[in-house]
């Protein structure tokens, strides 16, 4: 179920069942609004070393914090919002052209990410000023 809590932060709640332990299920199209081409996970992150700090031109992602916690900072060029994820059944939709940063992770944190595209270094916008100018150019065209 895709829950629209605000325009920018979209929480995706996936089913959690108990069967001698918990099991959470993400699948297209029920709760993942794109075909999954890639899955990766991040662990053993260093405290005080934020991750992310980029946006994607095309790639859409859903990020789950399946262990520990992470503070997610999202920015679409007009609006900035933050949320702390610590519940394995709550994913956050990282749409294309959303600048995102992952903060306050530690060695216990595990992030599971579902991505709509294969890895492509050219899909990254790593310069914040460039991101802002691309977003405002897109707005002017609309
Ligand atoms: P990056 O996406 O910048 O990580 P984070 O958002 O967590 O800070 O990726 C870190 C490095 O890993 C970078 O050199 C690119 C590489 N990488 C791949 O080779 N393939 C992948 O699928 C991903 C996600 C990253």
Rounded to whole angstroms, the Cα distance separating 82 from 75 reads 9
User: What pLDDT sits at residue 98?
Assistant: 97
Residue 4 pLDDT > 50: no
- Are residues 59 and 130 in contact, defined by beta-carbon separation less than 8 angstroms? no
Q: Which residues of 77-103 are buried (b: 16+ CB within 10 A; e: fewer)?
A: beeeeebebeebbbbbbbbebbbbbbb
Q: 2: part of which helix (H) or strand (E)?
A: strand 2-4
Q: Choosing from 54, 56, 73, 100, which is the catalytic residue?
A: 54
- Nearest alpha carbon, ligand 1 atom 5: 52
Pocket of ligand 1 (CB under 6 A): 38, 40, 42, 51-52, 119
Site to probe by mutation for ligand 1, drawn from 119, 121, 125, 127 as the one with most ligand atoms within 8 Å of Cβ, is 119
User: What pLDDT sits at residue 7?
Assistant: 77
Q: Calculate how far, in angstroms, residue 17's C-alpha sits from the geometric centre of ligand 1.
A: 31
- Are residues 3 and 11 in contact, defined by beta-carbon separation less than 8 angstroms? yes
pTM as predicted: 0.92
Atom of ligand 1 nearest to the CA of 111: 7
Q: Poorest-confidence range of 27-31, 50-54, 108-112, 136-140?
A: 136-140
Taking the C-alpha atoms of 106, 116, 31 and 84 in order, what is their torsion angle to the nearest 10 degrees?
A: 20
Average pLDDT over residues 26-35: 96
90 or 137, which is more confident:
90
Rounded to whole angstroms, the Cα distance separating 81 from 100 reads 10
23: confidence class by pLDDT, cuts 50, 70, 90: very high
User: What pLDDT sits at residue 142?
Assistant: 66
Q: Nearest-CA neighbor of 79 among 133, 5, 4, 6?
A: 6
Residue 5 pLDDT > 60: no
Tokens of 20: 């001698």
Average pLDDT over residues 64-73: 97
56 catalytic, yes or no?
no
Q: Calculate how far, in angstroms, residue 141's C-alpha sits from the geometric centre of ligand 1.
A: 31
- Cis peptide before 29, with omega less than 30 degrees from 0? yes
- Nearest alpha carbon, ligand 1 atom 20: 119
Q: Calculate how far, in angstroms, residue 100's C-alpha sits from the geometric centre of ligand 1.
A: 13
């Amino acid at each position: 179920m895709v829950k629209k809590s605000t325009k920018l932060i979209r929480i995706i709640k996936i089913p959690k069942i108990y069967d001698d332990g918990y099991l959470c299920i993400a699948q297209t199209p029920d709760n993942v609004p794109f075909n999954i081409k890639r899955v990766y996970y991040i662990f053993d992150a260093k405290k005080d070393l934020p991750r992310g700090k980029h946006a994607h031109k095309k790639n859409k992602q859903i990020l789950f914090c399946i262990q520990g916690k992470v503070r997610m900072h999202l920015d679409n060029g007009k609006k900035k919002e933050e949320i702390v994820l610590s519940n394995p059944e709550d994913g956050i939709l990282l749409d294309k052209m959303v600048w995102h940063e992952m903060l306050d992770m530690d060695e216990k944190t595990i992030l599971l990410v579902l991505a709509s595209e294969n890895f492509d270094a050219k899909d990254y916008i790593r310069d914040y000023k460039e991101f802002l100018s691309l977003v405002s150019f897109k707005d002017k065209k609309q």
